[in-house]
Amino acid sequence: MIDLAELVSSVAEGDVSRAAEFTRRALNAQLSAKKILDNGLLPAMDRIGSAFENGEIFLPELLMAGDAMKAALELLRPELAKRGVPYIGKYAIGTVQGDLHDIGKNIVILMLEGNGWEVTDLGTDVSPEQFCEVVRKGDFDVLGMSALLTFTMPKMAETISALKAARLRDKMKIMVGGAPVTQTFTEKIGADAYARDAVEAVAKAKSLLKK
């Protein structure tokens, strides 16, 4: 009998080789990829998410856990795809035009993927037109915008205006985040949610799906 608690702890502790080994063993023991995801990876991401939010772990531990999660997920993905297991939702995310910072965005991606989202990373320096193009072509539940520089925050408002002008605004929910972004600013520009960190981003994205 495979004990998924071992997978949970190996991911939470950021042990890449152990996480991959337990995932392989679980698959070989005929456990479904969905079960391994639900009872192994999701609880692990929950554990590291709350530990990060509570200040019990920091960036080094989070990044190591992210690597372990990715190693396990890589092994599960072909199986999940084969069985048509749906993602929790589709999320497109990018850093706004003029801003090249991406560590915050990358942590959000890591947490979203670990929590069952299909994430499209649009990279950095994404113009309002590029955001519109991605939304037009894709079928996303949530669009996330990130900015580190106060100077680039207005690009979030410009992007929302461009989406409105292209009649794409209501196609999905919009979330914003980044060091200078606040709840007041979020409301002012007409975004649907603000997340102060990656853990909150996952919770808010999930709650937006229900709306």
Partner 1 sequence: MQSLTNLERIMKAIKRQEPDRIPTFEIDIDARVINGIEPGATYEDFCEYMDLDALCYYEVSMDPYEVIDQARGVVRDQWGAIKRYAPVSFSIPVTLEPAIKSKKNLDNYASPDPDLPSRFKRIEQAAKKFKGKRAIIATARPFAVVRDSLRGQNDLFKDMIRDPEMIDRLNQITSDYYRRYVKNLIDAGADIILETADWAFTHGPMVSPKLTARFITPALKEIVDYCHSRGIPCLKHTDGNIWTIFDLIVETGVDGIHPIDPLAGMDLGEAKAKYGGEICLMGNVDCGELLSWGTKEEVSKAVKDCIRKAGKGGGYICMSSNSIHGAVKPENYSEMIRAIKEYGKYPLVH
Query: In the complex, which residues of this chain contact partner 1 (CB under 8 A)?
Result: 14, 53, 55, 57-61, 63-64, 67, 98-104, 124-125, 148-154, 179-180, 182, 184-185, 196-197
Cα(94)–Cα(173) distance, rounded to whole angstroms? 14
Contact 172, 189 (CB under 8 A): no
CB of 63 to partner 1, least distance (A): 5
Cα(163)–Cα(136) distance, rounded to whole angstroms? 9
CB of 67 to partner 1, least distance (A): 7
Measured from the CB atom, the residue of 182 and 207 that comes closer to partner 1 is: 182
Measured from the CB atom, the residue of 102 and 113 that comes closer to partner 1 is: 102
Angle, helices 103-114/42-53, rounded to nearest 10 degrees: 140
CB of 130 to partner 1, least distance (A): 14
Measured from the CB atom, the residue of 89 and 94 that comes closer to partner 1 is: 94
Measured from the CB atom, the residue of 59 and 165 that comes closer to partner 1 is: 59
